[in-house]
Structure 1
Amino acid sequence: MCGITGWVAYRQDLEGQRAVVDAMTETMSCRGPDARGTWYARHVALGHRRLAVIDLPGGEQPMTTEVGDATLGMVYSGEVYNYTELRDELRRRGHPFTTDSDTEVVLRAYAEWGTAFAERLNGMYALAIWDPRNETLVMVRDRMGIKPFFYYPTADGVLFGSEPKAILANPAVPAVVEVDGLRELLTVSKTPGAALWAGMHEVEPGTVVTVDRNGVHANVYWRLETKRHVDDQDTTVAHIRELLDDITRRQLVADVPKCVLLSGGLDSSAITALAAGQLAEEGRKVRSFAVDFVGQEENFQPDELRGTPDTPYVHDVADLVRSQHSDIVLDNTALTDPEIRRKVVRANDAPLGGDIFGSLYLLFSAIREQSTVALSGESADEVFGGYLWFHDPEVRNKPIFPWIAYLASRRSGSQTHVLRKDVLKQLDLGGHLRDRYAEAVREVERLDGESDDEWAMRKVCYLHLTRMVRILLDRKDRMSMAVGLEVRVPFCDHRLVEYVYNTPWSMKTFDGHEKSLLRAATQDVLPQSVVDRRKSPYPQTQDPAYVATLAGQVRELLAERHPVFELVDRDSAQQLTTAADGSARRLLEQTLSLATWLDLYQPEIKLPR
């Protein structure tokens, strides 16, 4: 796993821009703390920061290979899990290999198959290849969007990077946020290809973007397609287990210490148990980590989302699989530390924060002291249908993203925004969400003969797998790579996603509960307590002191007349400092994150008047 950046300029010699390219590359140092490198050719500069995971001495980048008289150059972030099979095939086709890294396999795969090589990759990746034969930059992102990838077209080429901060480090790019960027920021949705920063775009998941002298061109090599499911229930469960066994085995490959993230829920427990069984075959124990909070047991109050604390279930799994387990216990001092908030906002390049972001950052920081790679249960809820709103007909049939409809129905009577009314009017967030929802639904293909109920649930599943999951994957990536920890997501293997997406909803819920197929496929390796446990989201501290500290910090902002109040309504913020409900907590976090972002990035906010 690494951080990549680069610059293509068809009317410049970038040899004279080494200081700028170095600055762009250094913004990725957290993603790649082990090594750095740059490479220059006519009209192109590539920068790389490395987190060494596979073939520690041989995987240095940027990497080059010769094709005839041409030298191809590549920077690559991620892991390709089927690289050994690809290497064997490429060897049969006459390609020599000088390293054991997946990086060399990816580059030679491009040399052999051109842009069609992307269809052969299984993994999480963002990569850029300079091909001097046609003076083309080829940018590729994995199918599910696990690894972030941004680009910024210029008058004579393009800038790109794993994160916006690499692009913003170039003096040619102004730090401007326009109305569409703010809409993306303030709504829990993710428009494919959109970015917060004006002029910037994401390489969309499953897409090859090429840049040449004629401009930017995109080609989709993978999308979530509707197919008829022909397997019966028992066959489906068995096939899911076969896939999970294979996926876990592939994703345990690393030349550095590895571990699993364990929450005590079905998803992470299944990955932990499967990993433990496979490592036991080699005579090794799995290492597991869980997050907890000081005083959580004493302060825990069940609610609609979280009915039970995680720790008892975590320990049930750890005891059963005999993992080498550690609980990472966090306190409110760390969770409300302004310096941690600054690191979180810097990692996101956006005013995203709160105790979930902060606790993930602190958890990953603690894990990184002992492991470099972690396997996660992230995305199983999107794949198998685990959220409460999947099972709420009133919510899921509304013409809006179901997670937004669900949260809105639970916040009635509470303050929903802290922004000034004139800002909200200009943003028209409701209209934005309706438009984005309509665009997303138009992408879904209905199966011939599909019932209305199954069609409705197909749309819900599609929205989660192409919109919501990308928000959560980005959060996981930014918080983990901010401390140089590679987090792998087995449930995002495209073979599993395609197969489960096309199983009927009636089969996904055959036992009357959420995630029936995952439960059935893994229950033989899980403690009964976890098999019986209902869905519980990532935990949050329930210590009243957390909200009290946030309120005090917002009062400090009010006293100093901070520029955040050009966006945030002062009176609303003042009222929040004396409120105590969950809505106040969320809006206090939002206010503080916005203020921190304005301090760090000093963006120019352009709104229509």
Structure 2
Amino acid sequence: MCGITGWVSYRADLTQQRAIVEQMTATMADRGPDAGGIWLRPRAALGHRRLAVIDPVGGVQPMSDGEVALTYSGEVYNYRELRAELVALGHQFRTNSDTEVVLRGYLAWGDQVAEKLVGMYAFALWDGQVDRLTLVRDRMGVKPLYLYPLPDGGVLFGSEPKAILANPAADRVVDTDCLRELVGFTKAAGWSLWKGMTEVEPGTVVTVDAGGLRQRTYWELPLLDHTDGESATVERIRSLLDGVVGQQLVSDVPLGVLLSGGLDSSAVTSLAAGNTTDGPLRTFSVDFIGQEERFVADEMRSTPDGPFIRDVVDWTGSKHQDVVLDPAALTDPELRRAVVRSRDMPIGLGDIDSSMYLLFKAIRAESTVALSGEFADELFGGYLWFHHPAARDANTFPWLAFQNSHTTDRTALLQPELRDALDIGGYIADQYADAVAAVPQLDTVTDPLERRMRVNCHLHLTRLVRALLDRKDRLSMAVGLEVRVPFADHRLVEYVYNTSWALKTFDGREKSLLRAAVAESLPKSVVERVKSPYPTPQDPAYGAALQVQAADVLAEPNSPVFDIVSPDWLRDAVRHEAATLPGATRLGLERVLDLYHWFDLYRPKLQLTS
């Protein structure tokens, strides 16, 4: 896993811009702590930071063959099969890396190499024979890639916005349109917080040459008539999962699994343990000091993770490490700044992001690669709002319709004039209409619930999950850890997406198909466990610490935070009794503090108009 960046210009001589390209590349040193390099030609500059996972000695980048050069991030899991195919075509290899397979795959098949790859990846190829840049992103969007067109017809690109923003040609402007999505959380296609910057869509090839920028979709969720019965479907999912997990264990560096004790991560753990031959599998989990002993069930979490984690460890014989965090450490402003810097935006998830960052940092001390259970809830229908009629049937995104004690009006903390200008309700309605219009339906399916759930599943796989994959990538790569996502394998996604909602819930529970597919591979306690979200500290002292830091923000009335945030809202939040601080208010404080540090780190220029 790595960080990539680059610059294409059809007017300037980029061989004279080494210093700027080095600055762009250096912003991603955390993504690639093992090595870095740049490749310069008059029309193109490529930068790379490397996290060595496959062929540490041979896979140095940017990698070139004559005037064709590649900067590549990710893993291609079928690279050995593609290498054999390329050798049969007469290609000779200098390394054992998947990077060279991608390069020689382009030389053999052009940009249609994308259709042959199985994995998570984002890469850029400069073909000096025709002065053309090709950008490719994996089907599900596991690896990020951003694009910034330039007035001269060229482009800047990078794994993260910070790489693009390091170039003086990129303006650090955030306007009203940019803020609408930050607040609305619909994961609009191609959105970036920064004006003029877009995210390359998953499953897309972008080409840039002197004639302009073009893109084509090489993959999207297929609409298929699922004809397998219940038992055949369960068996097929079991077989696919076993093959996918086995394929994703390939690594030339230490590897482990993220284990929460939930169905998803436990399934990955068990399957990985069954495919591991070089000693016990390493597993890792996160908890907070005293959390299990003082655990209080609520509407989102009915059980602590600890007992279920121990059951899986005993079952699989893994070598386990509990990463136990002090909730007080999560309030460290420097930790918050590191998280905001990793994500390039003030997302406002607070302790969820900061604890995940610390978890990944602890894992990185032991392993370079970790497998995760991410994506299973979106694929198999695990979230509460899939099964809550009011949220399921609402004419909006289900995750926005779902209401509990932690949900909040995301506009409540905004300056009143800005709230009116953003019109978040109208924005969400427009995005929902666009998203629903893009969902294909089978004419043979007439049941209203089935058609509704086809829409909801599509929204999760093309919208919500992309935001969560981005979080996982940014926080893990910020500490040089590669996290793989077996449930995001496109072959598994194609199959499960096309099963009916009746099949997905055949036993009356969430994730019925996954539960049945892995039932024999896990202890009964885990198979029967009700979904529990990622843990957060329940200590009220955490919220009190947020209030103290927010009071410091209030003491700076000229802070740019107050171009966005209402000081009256913040004043009321700071004065609230800490012991009874509502979850919604706590989340609001997290957003304010993220904004405060984001302004300091990025110095954005706001263009806020009605």
Q: TM-score range by the shorter chain?
A: over 0.9
Alignment counterpart, residue 103 of structure 2, candidates 101, 107, 114: 107
Whether contact under 8 Å (1:64, 1:74) holds in the other structure is yes
Aligned pair partner of 1:251 in 242, 248, 256: 248
Following the alignment from structure 1 to structure 2, what is the Cα–Cα distance between the partners of residues 193 and 416? 23
The residue that corresponds to 2:83 in the other structure is 87
* 1:154 is aligned to 2:150: yes
1:416–1:175 Cα change, 3 Å: closer
CA distance in 2, matches of 1:299, 1:217: 56
Distance in structure 1 (CA, Å) of the matches to 2:294 and 2:170: 47
Cα distance in 1 for residues equivalent to 2:11 and 2:408: 58
CA distance in 1, matches of 2:89, 2:42: 30
Q: In 2 relative to 1, CA 550–12 (structure 1 residues): closer, same or farther, beyond 3 Å?
A: same
Deviations 1:403-454 (A, max 9, x none): 00003x6568978621111111111111111111111111111112212211
Whether 1:567 aligns to 2:564 is: yes
In structure 2, how many angstroms separate the alpha carbons of the residues matched to 1:411 and 1:64?
A: 51
Which runs of structure 2 are paired with 1:478-557 in the superposition (5 Å)? 478-557=474-553
1:65 is displaced (CA, Å) by 1.5
- Alignment check: 8 A CA contact 1:295 1:543 kept: no
| Aligned counterpart, 1:6 | 6
Closer, same or farther in 2 for the Cα pair 1:412/1:263, shift >3 Å? closer
**Cα drift, residue 332 of structure 1:** 2.1
Q: Residue in 1 aligned with 2:40?
A: 40
Closer/same/farther in 2, CA of residues 73 and 283 from structure 1, 3 Å limit: closer
Q: Judge conservation of contact 2:408–2:584 (CA < 8 Å) in 1.
A: no
Matched, 1:604 2:605: yes
Measured after TM superposition, the shift of residue 523 of structure 1 is 1.0
Counterpart position of 1:437:
432
Indicate the residue corresponding to 1:219 in structure 2: 216
- After TM superposition, give the deviation of residue 137 of structure 1 in Å: 0.2
Q: Give the corresponding residue for 1:177.
A: 174
**Alpha-carbon contact 1:206-1:221 (below 8 Å) kept:** yes
- Which among 219, 228, 233 is matched to residue 230 of structure 2? 233
Q: Tell me the alpha carbon deviations over residues 453-488 of structure 1, each in whole angstroms, 9 at most, x when there is no partner.
A: 111100000000000000100000000000000000
Which residue in the other structure is 1:417 paired with? Answer: 412
Measure, in 1, the Cα distance between the counterparts of 2:246 and 2:398. Answer: 34
Displacement of 1:178 in angstroms is 0.9
Please list, as runs of the form range in 1=range in 2, the aligned pairs for 1:166-205 lying within 5 A after superposition: 166-205=163-202
Specify the alignment match of 2:593 in structure 1.
592
* Structure 1 residues 171 and 369: alpha-carbon distance in aligned structure 2, compared to 1, 3 A threshold: same
Residues 191-234 of structure 1, C-alpha deviation per residue, up to 9 Å, x if partnerless? 11111100001110000000111211110000012110011111
Which of 429, 453, 461 is the equivalent residue of 1:457? 453
Measure, in 2, the Cα distance between the counterparts of 1:608 and 1:387.
37
Describe the SS at the equivalent of 2:81. Answer: helix
Deviation at 1:340, TM superposition (A): 0.3
Q: Which moved more, 1:452-461 or 1:556-565?
A: 556-565
Amino-acid identity (%):
58
SS of 2:48's equivalent in the other structure is strand
Given the alignment, which residue of 89, 92, 95 partners 1:96? Answer: 92
Q: Which residue of structure 2 lines up, in the alignment, with residue 284 of structure 1? A: 279
Q: 1:396 aligns with which of 388, 392, 400?
A: 392
Check whether the contact 1:189–1:471 (CA below 8 A) recurs between aligned residues.
Answer: no
Matched with 1:135 is 131
Distance 1:136 1:361 in 2: 38
Following the alignment from structure 2 to structure 1, what is the Cα–Cα distance between the partners of residues 311 and 575?
40
Q: How far is the alpha carbon of 1:235 from its aligned partner? A: 0.8
The Cα offsets for residues 309-359 of structure 1, whole Å up to 9 and x where unpaired, read as 111111111111111001101112220100000000000110124000000
Please give the alpha-carbon distance, in whole angstroms, between the structure 2 residues aligned to 1:378 and 1:550: 29
Provide the secondary structure at the position in 2 that maps to 1:299.
coil
- Residues 4 and 47 of structure 1 are in contact (CA less than 8 Å); yes or no, is this contact kept in structure 2? yes
Alignment partner, residue 584 of structure 2: 583
Q: Which residue of 2 aligns with 1:375?
A: 371
In structure 2, runs of 5+ residues without a counterpart are none
Three-state SS of the structure 2 residue aligned to 1:521 is: helix
Partner letter of residue 204 of structure 2?
A: T
Q: Is the 8 A contact 2:256 2:367 kept in 1?
A: yes
Residue aligning to 1:333 = 328
CA–CA distance in 1 between the matches of 2:352 and 2:523?
27
Q: CA deviation at 1:297?
A: 2.0
User: Which residue matches 1:210?
Assistant: 207
List per-residue Cα deviations over 1:294-318 (Å, max 9, x = no partner): 1212432211111111111111111
| Aligned equivalents of 1:414, 1:423: Cα separation in 2 | 14
Paired with 2:408 and 2:130, the residues of 1 have a C-alpha distance of 60
Q: Contact 1:193 / 1:204 at 8 angstroms: preserved in 2? A: yes
Contact 1:124 / 1:142 at 8 angstroms: preserved in 2?
yes
- Name the CA distance, whole Å, in 2 between partners of 1:373 and 1:449: 44
Distance 1:171-1:531 versus aligned 2 partners, 3 A rule: same
**2 CA distance for matches of 1:442 and 1:294?**
47
Q: Secondary structure of the residue that 2:555 maps to in structure 1? A: helix
Q: Distance in 2 between matches of 1:247 and 1:411?
A: 35
CA contact (8 A) 2:407 2:583 kept: no
Runs of 4+ with >3 A deviation: 409-416
- Specify the alignment match of 1:31 in structure 2: 31
Equivalent position of 2:351 in the other structure? 355
Distance 1:416 1:424 in 2: 6
**Alpha-carbon distance in structure 2 between the residues aligned to 1:119 and 1:166:** 27
SS at structure 1 position matched to 2:479: coil
Q: Distance in 2 between matches of 1:411 and 1:532?
A: 26
Of residues 366, 387, 390 in structure 1, which corresponds to 2:362? 366
Q: TM-score, normalised by structure 2?
A: 0.97
Cα RMSD (Å) of the superposition? 1.2
- Given that 2:406 and 2:582 are in contact with CA atoms closer than 8 Å, whether structure 1 keeps it comes out as no
Q: What runs of 5+ residues in structure 1 fail to find an aligned partner?
A: none
The amino acid that maps onto 2:416 is K
- Residues in 2 aligned to 1:181 and 1:314: alpha-carbon distance in whole angstroms: 41
Q: Which deviates more, 293-302 or 1-10?
A: 293-302
Secondary structure (helix, strand or coil) at the match of 1:79 reads strand
Q: Which amino acid aligns with 2:24?
A: M
2:15, 2:443 → 1: CA distance? 57
Q: State which of 92, 117, 122 in structure 2 corresponds to 1:121.
A: 117
TM-score, with normalisation over the residues of structure 1? 0.97
Out of 244, 261, 264, the position equivalent to 1:267 is 264
Note if contact 1:416-1:583 (Cα within 8 Å) is conserved in structure 2.
Answer: no
User: In the TM superposition, what is the alpha-carbon distance from 1:135 to its structure 2 partner?
Assistant: 1.0
Matching residue's letter, 2:363? I
Relative distance call for 1:578 and 1:470 in structure 2 (3 A) is same
State the alpha-carbon separation in 1 of the partners of residues 42 and 517 from structure 2.
53
Per-residue Cα deviation, 1:151-181 (whole angstroms, up to 9, x for no partner): 1000220000000000000011111001121
CA distances 1:65-117 after superposition (whole Å, capped 9, x unpaired): 14xxxx20010000000000000001101111110000000011111111111
What is the rounded CA distance, in whole Å, between the counterparts of 2:416 and 2:406 in structure 1? 19
Quick one: which amino acid aligns to residue 273 of structure 1?
A: S
Q: Aligned letter for 1:469?
A: V
Give the match's secondary structure for 1:572.
helix
1:145 is matched with which residue? Answer: 141
Q: 1:215 to 1:556 in 2, by over 3 A?
A: same
Number of residues of Structure 1 aligned to a counterpart in Structure 2: 602
